[in-house]
Chain A
């Protein structure tokens, strides 16, 4: 029972480089999310996908793009990395976008941009 799997676990980028963070879930969930976690700021929503074929901006979407490849996979792309994007990134999924549907998280990707 893998749950939510994120790759890579760690990544170091130089300013201006691009990369894609991968996320896959095996729980047949409809909704998927990307968050970033910074010290003292809790989690902030970057993008989400309510269902296959849809994506929407969250609280901090600038500098990121997403693709909901299929029901299982939801990727996050940084086109031109900046030091301000140094953070821990979490992918999450939920059964649906309902009020009481809890989130299931991956173990995170720790990204450093130099």
Chain B
């Protein structure tokens, strides 16, 4: 069965430090992968998506993610954290066109220390 694991339900970094949010998936075939961000009292917004082609994907707000098939990972990074990055981040995987196969991770809450 397909699944998504986000390591760390809460990550705290200092302003200006590297952000690394981890996502691993299990899938027998390369899936489509997404990162979403949720700010307080709002819905989820798409940060970036991997479909096919280049394994390094750039998203909005300076975030990027690298698809590593050998490690079944799709970690999210940002070189320098900003206070406005404080939010909850969800990794999601979709293997085929069935809507019921969109699997979301349990989320990682990112806090930024001044």
A-to-B contact residues, CB < 8 Å: 4, 31, 33, 40-45, 48, 50, 56-59, 90, 92, 97-100, 102-108
Contact = CB atoms under 8 A, between A and B. Distances in A.
A102 B46 contact: yes
Interface size on B, as a range, is: 20 to 34
A45 B99 contact: yes
6 contacts: A41-B106, A59-B100, A107-B41, A107-B43, A108-B41, A108-B43
A19 B44 CA distance: 24
A42 B106 contact: yes
Interface stretch (B13-21, B68-76, B77-85, B90-98): B90-98
B99 A99 contact: no
Given A45-B99, A50-B99, A90 B43 contact: yes
Interface string B33-54: 0101000011111100101000
Contact of B32 (A92, A100, A106, A108): A100
B83 to A, nearest CB: 22
B2 interface: no
Which are the 6 A-B pairs with shortest beta-carbon distances?
Answer: A105-B43, A42-B104, A100-B51, A48-B99, A43-B104, A99-B32
Nearest to A45: B100
A40 B106 contact: yes
Contacts of A4: 43
B88 to A, nearest CB: 10
B87 interface: no
Given A42-B105, A99-B94, A31 B42 contact: no
Nearest to A50: B99
A76 to B, nearest CB: 15
Given A105-B45, A107-B41, A108-B43, A97 B97 contact: yes
A97 B105 CA distance: 20
B49 A100 contact: yes
B9 interface: yes
Candidate in A44, A58, A99, A105 with the most chain B CB atoms within 10 angstroms? A99
